Chain A
Amino acid sequence: MRKRFITTASLLCFVVLGCSQNGIRPMTRVGASLRRSAESRRLPSMGQRWLASLASLNGRERVELIDLNNDTPVPLTGINQADSQTISLSVSGDGQRIALVRQREERTELMLYRRTASALQRLPINPPGVPRSVSLNGNGRLLAVQVSRKGRWDVDLIRLP
C-alpha cells in the first residue's frame, strides 16, 4: 500500500514538474471563473490586465470584459444590443477601448466602444468595404481592420483621436 502511494506520488511530481519545466501554467482560478460564468466563450482578446471575450449564456452572446486582478466582469453599458451579432473584437492594452465588428440588420459594421464615455460609435470605412477582423494597439489610438473590397481582403489602418 505504502509502495503504491510512493509510486503514485512520484508520478504526480513528475507530471507537475514536467508542466512547470515547460514554463507554462494554466491559470486555474481564472479558468474556473470563466467556465462558471458562461456556457461557452470565444474570441478572446487580452489587454494588460483585461480579458475581453464573447460569452454565451442562456442562448445569448454578450461582449464581456474581465478584470484579471479579481476575475470580475466590469460593466459595459450599451455595448451589447439585442439585434446584433459580434464577429470580431479587440480590447486595447489599457482596457479602455474595445473595437468590434458586428452584424446588424444585414449590415456589417465596425464599432468602437469607449469605456470612459460608455459610448458605442460606428466607424466609417473609406473606401467602402465590409469589415471582418479587428485589432487595437495598446492605447487604442490605432486600429487595424480586415476589409473585403472588390473581391479581395485588405487591411486598413485607422488612426483614432
Chain B
Amino acid sequence: MTRRLLLVLLAVGVVACEGRATRAPSGFLAPQQQDPALSGDGRLLAVIEDQNGRPTVQLRNVQGGGSLRLRHLSRHQPHSSPSLSWNGRYLAVITQRGNHRLVLIEDRLSGKAHPLRLPSGRDPVRVSLAPDAGKLAIQTADQGRWRVEVIDLSRLLEPDGPGGPRRTTPSEPSR
C-alpha cells in the first residue's frame, strides 16, 4: 500500500516538474514563428515572422495573443535576434541598412528609436538586452572568431526594471 502511494506521488512529482505547454498566441492563418524572446515579466513575446517574404519582428501579448504595434520596425528587414526588457518597454532587434547590420532599440514608451552602431565597428550577429535595459550583449565576428561584446546603455536608456511603467499599446486584430 505504502509502495503504491509512493509510486503515485512520484508520478505526480514528475508531471509537476515537466511544466505545462501551450502554443504561442498567433492569428487565424498563423505564419511561422522563429527566434522567440520573452519580456522579463513574461507578459510579452517577440517573435520573427515571415511577412511577404521578409523576416519581421512581431510583438504579442502572451495572454490573449493580440499583436502590438511597433512604430519603427515595419521596414529595414530582415530582422533577427529580438530581445525585450523587463516590462517590454524596450525591444532590441538586429536590422539591416544597406550592406550593414545594426542594432535598433525601440522605446515603446517614448516612441523613439535608437539605432546603434557598435563602438568596435563590427556587425552584430546576435544581441541580448539586460532585463533593466542597462546593458546589451552582442555577438560579433572578429578575425574568424565569434566574440561577445558588452555595452553600457545606462546613459542612453531609462531603466525598465520590475515595477517600472508598463507600455500599453492598443492591440491590433490578429492576422
On A, residues with C-beta under 8 Å from B are: 19-20, 22-27, 30-31, 34-35, 39-48, 51, 53, 56, 68, 93, 121, 123-126, 132-139, 141-146, 152-161
The one of B17, B21, B42 in contact with A126, judged by C-beta atoms closer than 8 angstroms, is: B21
Whether A27 pairs with B24 at a CB distance below 8 angstroms is: no
Contact B146 A155 (CB under 8 A): no
A24, A35, A42, A47: the one within 8 Å of B139 (CB): A42
Question: Does residue B147 face the partner (Cβ distance < 8 Å to A)?
Answer: yes
Q: How far is the CA of A136 from the CA of B37 in the complex (A)?
A: 8
Contact A93 B21 (CB under 8 A): no
Contact B32 A24 (CB under 8 A): no
Chain A proximity of B52: nearest CB distance (Å): 17
Are the CB atoms of A68 and B145 closer together than 8 Å? no
Q: Are A161 and B16 in contact (CB under 8 A)?
A: yes
A27-B151, A47-B131 in contact; A19/B137 too (CB < 8 A)? no
Contact A44 B128 (CB under 8 A): yes
A122 to B92, CA, bound (A): 30
- Given the known interface contacts A31-B149, A44-B148, the answer about A155 and B40 at a Cβ–Cβ threshold of 8 Å is no
A contact residues around B41 at 8 Å (CB): 137-138
The closest CB in chain B to the CB of A141 belongs to B42
Task: Please determine whether A68 and B33 come into contact, CB atoms closer than 8 angstroms.
Answer: no
For the complex of A and B, 3 pairs with smallest distance between CB atoms: A23-B156, A138-B40, A44-B137
Residue from A30, A132, A145 with most neighbouring chain B CB atoms (10 Å): A30
A145 to B24, CA, bound (A): 9
Main secondary structure of the interface of A (DSSP, over half): strand
A53 contacts which chain B residues (CB < 8 A)?
Answer: 137, 148
Q: Are B148 and A41 in contact (CB under 8 A)?
A: yes
| Min CB gap B60→A, angstroms | 9
The CA-CA distance from A93 to B123 in the complex, in Å, is: 26
Contact of A23 with B153 in the complex, beta carbons under 8 Å: yes
CA distance A139 to B17 in the complex (A): 16
Hey, which chain B residues are within 8 Å of A41, CB to CB? 139, 146-148
Within 8 Å CB of B16, what residues of A?
A: 161
| A159 engages B20 (CB within 8 Å) | yes
Q: Which single residue of chain A is at the shortest CB-CB distance from B105? A: A24
Q: Which residues of A contact B18 (CB under 8 A)?
A: 123-124
* Structural contact, B23 and A46, CB atoms closer than 8 A: no
Interface presence of B59 (CB below 8 A):
no
Contact A48 B131 (CB under 8 A): yes
- Interface flags, B8-38, vs A, CB<8A=1, else 0: 0000000011111111100000001111111
Most B-side CB within 10 Å, residue of A42, A48, A155, A161? A155
